[in-house]
Chains A and B, each alone.
Chain A
Amino acid sequence: MTRLDLVIVGAGPAGLRAAVEAATGGLSVMLVDEGREPGGQIYRGSESGAFAGTAKLGSDYAAGAVLAAAFRASGVEALFGATVIQIEREADGSFSVSVATGHDKAVVVRARAVIAATGAQERPFPIDGWTLPGVMTAGAAQTMLKADGVVPDGPVVLAGTGPLLYLLAAQYGALGVAIDTLLDTAGPGNWRRALPHVAGFLTSRYAFKGLGLLGKALAATRIIRGVEAVSAIGDTRLSAVTYRKGATERTIPAHVLLLHHGVVPQINLTWSAGAQHRWNAARLAFEPVRDASGQTDVPGLFIAGDSGGIGGAQAAEAEGALAAFGVLRMLRGTAGDDDRIERQWRRRLAVSLRGRAFLDALYAPRQSHLCPPDEVIVCRCEEVTAGDIRKAVRRGAMGPNQVKAFTRAGMGPCQSRMCGLTTVAIIAEETGLSPGDIGHMRLRAPVKPVTVAQIASLSEADERRPTESPSATRPCK
């Protein structure tokens, strides 16, 4: 089997820029993405989506088309609609990357280095009723907008905290899509905690953009701040949203409720590949430990973009370039003819990270929303409630793996992507330990449920199978 220099996982700004720079440096590269075309989350649909080639979703979004075109021009081989389910480092230091390419097909790609640029996912916002059809994440609604030009109909409520919630409100506003109510659940002390970081924020690009955003969203929407509790009401469908602020409780009709709690790195793939991850207390998330080029403690495995820590699209692109230079240096001993370009990207990275600490503090979720009341379902797959988890901890389950064994939280097909952080938060609250000391549930490969046919086709191609972990995944039939 031929061995490539580099496999890149993810076609967002980080992966696309990494591909362009690595190809420019003369490496043989393959890029794999679950999506159908280049773009990742921010630039979803920028090649063929409903707003491709327009400025209707803002200038940031329009930048995606330029990057996608640069990627296409690089000649890098791309595998779209394909999911990387396992990254393994072999004894000779090279990597075997298992890729599910269809419901009954999987292949192994070999490479000397891997850049994981798998991006972020939204932090779960577990509330009563959040499993009802009609309740979605703000990111899901935004993806429907970008990819398909589809928007909510009937009364729609946005609830939660984070810049993306306001970005979506502003994008809807600019398109004339009415939002009935935006329930802002950020904590009352956030401003005070954000203030020490205000200098960085004022010199960042968010200052101007962020305030403009807020203005637009404010003009178009009824915004209720300081919301302390939200729940989704309905029998088999969402029909209303109840919220509480101080002593007032109100119920408003809703066909669509869009939740958002900020974004956190997607860590399943890099964790299962053996890279060390650490708790970031300011960002309330686990992040991989990386050097300045994004290399992890697994030599040859690099991480770029939001999957390494949330920095936004511009930081992701810069990190993608820096990771590509890191791989070039590792394989070729030099990152190119002169390191001026690398220094430029490093400067751009620093500039684009300005203001991030301010935003992290300003939009931090409330503790009471990170650790929901007993009746709320935390693990959507196995329908395990916060109360079930608390009970397990009181019965002696000290860590997330034990809680998983006691309650089945994290055993379903999503492999704890929806419940992992909440489980850790509840254990922390119950035991008084820090999430860093508690750690995350063990994350294993394959990082998505695999079919028997996929395993069969893998072993045919390779006489090997991804490590099976029945406790972590339920193979789909």
Chain B
Amino acid sequence: MFRRLVEPAGHVTVTIDGRPFSVAAGETLSTALLLAGFAGLRRSARLGRERGPFCGMGVCFDCLVTIDGAANRQACLVRVRDGMAVQTGTRLPALADTVPE
């Protein structure tokens, strides 16, 4: 889906869904996830459909992942760090399920 045009200065290792990946040091996490083949990062609230990064600038919230145990972090606003552990696939609770009519 995406490819690297400019070679990075160095690499770090992150764990995505339990598997280790070598990614460019300092890279935006959402970019690293796309390059690692993770196009869908979370599931939508009502229909449970896969979502990937959409706006790239922190306004759409489709890129939410769990980072080192902290849930619902915007992957497009975070840079990778060596040893970072990322979990994808969270389904946001639909408001319909949590807020009474």
A: which residues have CB within 8 A of B? 34-36, 41, 48, 50-51, 81, 83, 103-104, 121-122, 131, 133-137, 139-141, 143-145, 147-154, 175, 177, 236-237, 255-256, 266, 380-383, 408, 411-414, 417-418, 448-449, 451, 470-471, 474, 476-477
Contacts and interface: CB of A to CB of B under 8 A. Distances in A.
A122 B60 CA distance: 11
21 contacts: A81-B77, A103-B70, A104-B70, A121-B59, A133-B52, A134-B39, A136-B56, A144-B31, A150-B4, A150-B5, A150-B31, A150-B35, A151-B5, A153-B3, A175-B5, A236-B40, A380-B62, A411-B95, A413-B64, A414-B59, A470-B99
A137 B56 contact: yes
A333 to B, nearest CB: 38
A402 to B, nearest CB: 14
Contact of A144 (B50, B56, B59): B56
Main secondary structure of the interface of A (DSSP, over half): loop
Nearest to A177: B5
Given A153-B1, A153-B2, A412-B45, 17 more contacts: A36-B79, A131-B44, A133-B39, A136-B52, A136-B56, A137-B56, A143-B28, A144-B31, A148-B27, A150-B3, A150-B35, A237-B39, A380-B51, A383-B46, A383-B47, A449-B72, A474-B98
Interface string B15-49: 00000000010111001001100011100111101
A256 B59 contact: no
Nearest 7 pairs between A and B by C-beta? A140-B56, A149-B6, A133-B52, A476-B72, A133-B39, A153-B3, A50-B6
B11 to A, nearest CB: 13
Given A139-B55, A382-B94, A50 B5 contact: yes
Main secondary structure of the interface of B (DSSP, over half): loop
A228 to B, nearest CB: 23
Contact of B57 (A140, A152, A153, A381): A140
B4 A383 contact: no
Given A134-B39, A255-B1, A139 B56 contact: yes
A141 B49 contact: no
A256 B2 contact: yes
A36 B94 CA distance: 31
Nearest to B6: A149
Nearest to A384: B46
Nearest to B26: A48
Chain B CB count within 10 A is highest, among A35, A51, A153, for: A153
Nearest to A50: B6
A470 B73 CA distance: 19
A476 B90 CA distance: 12
Contact of A122 (B34, B55, B71, B72): B55
B93 A152 contact: no
Contact of A136 (B35, B41, B54, B77): B54
Nearest to B35: A150
B73 to A, nearest CB: 6
Contacts of B70: 103-104, 451
Contacts of B1: 134, 152-154, 255-256
B7 to A, nearest CB: 8
B72 A131 contact: no
A448 B96 CA distance: 20
Given A36-B79, A266-B59, A140 B54 contact: yes
Nearest to B93: A474
Contact of A137 (B41, B55, B79): B55
Contacts of A122: 55
B51 A133 contact: yes
A264 to B, nearest CB: 11
A413 B56 contact: no
B58 interface: yes
B57 A121 contact: yes
A383 B45 contact: yes
Contacts of A135: 54
A148 B62 contact: no
B95 A382 contact: yes
Contacts of B50: 133, 236
A222 B53 CA distance: 26
A476 B64 CA distance: 10
A134 B71 CA distance: 23
A236 B76 CA distance: 21
Contact of A41 (B57, B73, B92): B57
Chain A CB count within 10 A is highest, among B50, B61, B99, for: B61
